[in-house]
Structure 1
Amino acid sequence: MEEGKVKLLAKFNLILLLVFAAGGVLISQLAHSYLIGSAKEEVQAQERLMMTSARSVRDYTADEVSPLLQQNPRHHLRFLPETIPAYAATTTFAKLRKDYPDYTYKESALNPTDPEDRATGWEVEIIDWLRDHRDEPEKTGERPTAMVPALYLATPIKATKECLECHGTPAAAPKALIAVYGSANGFGWKENEIIGAQIVSVPLSVPVANADRAYRRLLFFLLLTMIAAIVALDAAVYWLVIRPLRIVSDTADRISRGEKNVPPVQIQGKDEIANVASSFNRMQVSLAKALKMFEEE
């Protein structure tokens, strides 16, 4: 009977494993796609927070810091980069990168004063897109890099009236600015013109790594759940099905060997197994009566 029990449990476990395996593959694939998407959304939310922080630094510099520094007599003799909102935002973000080294920030322009800020390649495409879609507050997407693809968030930079004081014409620009950067670049801007973009980018490996960590945890708990479910179902099958059938089988073996006065099978309940036991008991009684009649003859 032990052999039969093992075979029945083995078949039952095989079915469970097939069902769990099929369901696990489907769930894991759906979960991985969902986790990747969620990780990207989380990273982009952080990018928006950093972009908002950079924009706030720009506004504070333009509204509060720059007017004060322009009153400094040294401003007319030596160019003070601290008066430039873009410089303040870039410098602040550079300090922020100590805690977020994977994130990069750049203010790219088509015609900047500083050649290092000139847009190249994909940055030009982003600025052109923002120019063609002036109603869109931002542009997000993925871009290829030398190592791994990167997620980016870009918002337009519009030239304000205050910007034209330095970027209108070389003649109107501060002499200290001309002395540092010359008069060849960064002029001819027009008010409300989109002249560049603030771009925050992060390697795609960051959200993928976040998703993979969550995915591994999910697989671990799924495996634990599957093992616990199999153990629980095995115990239930043994106590509710195999054990009662074993009692019926042992009783049948005793009767088949010619034992008399074998007690009836005692199985409580109203399920199918209990019905089998009741039918077996009736058969046992009928068989005993038949044997008695045969012996009397």
Structure 2
Amino acid sequence: MKRKFSLSVKFNLVFLFIFAIALSAAGVVADRLLQKQALDETVHDANVLISAAASMQSYTATHVTPLLATQIKYQFVPESIPAFSAIEMLNLLQKDFPNFSYKSTMLNPTNPRDRPTDWETDVITHLHDHPDLKQMSGQRISSGNPTLFLARPSRITDVACMQCHSTPSAAPATMIDKYGSANGFGWTMNDVIGAEFVSVPMTQPIERGRAVWRTFMLSLTAVFAVVLIVMNVMVNMLITRPIQALSRAADEMSLGKLAETPLPTGGSDEIASLAVSFGRMRTSLVEAFKILDEEPHES
């Protein structure tokens, strides 16, 4: 036996079907937009950090290194090296933001601490093989959490730097005494010799995006629920009740109760027009029955 559904049930089923599709589509679009926002926010933080390092290097090269130019003859001062100053400054920043990191790595560094890891070496090699590439970014899993890294190639653009990195014989004796003559030499002007790496955690932006997504989806669901309730009330008042009244009137008329059957009146919509049509039909039926009742007496 075919199951029958009321108009209200059919309306709610259609509304819920449309709601499910709309909510799913909105959820997918919102999730993608929020993920992109989280990525853009992380990239912005990484750019700020690496720009701060570049500013520190520029300041050191302009204001600190010239002041210590004669000092290097008697004692090598690492703070006169722009990359060293940037690393030390950002190491202090890292105490307040432990998940952020900055490294200035070289394939053949003077200081062993600046030697790159395997994945950093791959990035430097890629930057070396693509000299027009100004920056490279990607995502990694660090300590179980997603992390975005930003890498900018390092080049020797100042001829004065070649004094310390061309050959051991040309380097200051104080630097040789501190770091030895095995590493940090043979660098080439304008060639990619390393890269600056900034790593920024993506956990917090992703969690913020998820929280916004949940709030958005709950709000959208609440709006749909309110709309569904309002629509049900309107359908019941404007459609279901008048149709039920017409249905009862039709049933009464089918049983022969024509004169005493009330019909809903008022309004100017389609249902009111249908009620008027029912009224005309009832009047016609009453007149027809009167004619039929009068015919035997005339014969």
Task: Please report the TM-score for the alignment, with normalisation by the length of structure 1.
Answer: 0.86
Query: Any residues of structure 2 matched to 1:175-254 within 5 Å, and which?
Result: 175-252=173-250
> How far apart in 2 are the matches of 1:262 and 1:129?
89
Cα deviation 1:236-266 (Å, max 9, x = unaligned): 3223211322332344455558374445421
- Residue 78 of structure 1 and its aligned partner are, at CA, apart by 3.4
Match in the other structure for 2:112: 115
> How far apart in 2 are the matches of 1:12 and 1:188?
79
Query: Any residues of structure 2 matched to 1:3-18 within 5 Å, and which?
Result: 7-18=6-17
> How far apart in 1 are the matches of 2:256 and 2:93?
87
Match in the other structure for 1:53: 52
> How far apart in 2 are the matches of 1:154 and 1:166?
24
Work out whether residues 264 and 272 of structure 2, in 8 Å CA contact, stay in contact via their aligned partners in 1: no
Match in the other structure for 1:151: 148
Instruction: Name the SS for the 1:152 alignment partner.
Output: strand
Letter of the 1:232 counterpart: V
Pairing partner for 2:102 from 101, 105, 115: 105
Match in the other structure for 2:86: 89
> How far apart in 1 are the matches of 2:126 and 2:171?
29
- Structure 1 stretches lacking a partner, 5+ long: none
Answer yes or no: is 1:133 the counterpart of 2:130: yes
| Counterparts in 2 of 1:154 and 1:247: CA distance versus 1, 3 Å | same
Match in the other structure for 1:20: 19
- More deviation, 18-27/200-209: 200-209
Work out whether residues 244 and 267 of structure 1, in 8 Å CA contact, stay in contact via their aligned partners in 2: no
Instruction: Name the SS for the 1:169 alignment partner.
Output: coil
| Counterparts in 2 of 1:98 and 1:266: CA distance versus 1, 3 Å | farther
- Residue 219 of structure 1 and its aligned partner are, at CA, apart by 1.3
Instruction: Name the SS for the 1:163 alignment partner.
Output: helix
> How far apart in 1 are the matches of 2:32 and 2:124?
31
- Structure 2 stretches lacking a partner, 5+ long: none
Instruction: Let me know the Cα RMSD of the aligned residues.
Output: 2.6
Instruction: Name the SS for the 2:65 alignment partner.
Output: helix
> How far apart in 1 are the matches of 2:73 and 2:256?
117
Equivalent pairs, count: 290
Instruction: Name the SS for the 1:112 alignment partner.
Output: coil
Task: Please report the TM-score for the alignment, with normalisation by the length of structure 2.
Answer: 0.85
Cα deviation 1:56-100 (Å, max 9, x = unaligned): 1111111112212335x5x54433222111122122222333554
- More deviation, 102-111/198-207: 198-207
Identity %: 37
Match in the other structure for 1:67: 66
Letter of the 1:186 counterpart: G
Work out whether residues 265 and 281 of structure 1, in 8 Å CA contact, stay in contact via their aligned partners in 2: no
> How far apart in 1 are the matches of 2:15 and 2:97?
46
- Residue 115 of structure 1 and its aligned partner are, at CA, apart by 0.8
Instruction: Name the SS for the 2:224 alignment partner.
Output: helix
Work out whether residues 246 and 263 of structure 2, in 8 Å CA contact, stay in contact via their aligned partners in 1: no
> How far apart in 2 are the matches of 1:96 and 1:280?
84
Work out whether residues 248 and 277 of structure 1, in 8 Å CA contact, stay in contact via their aligned partners in 2: yes
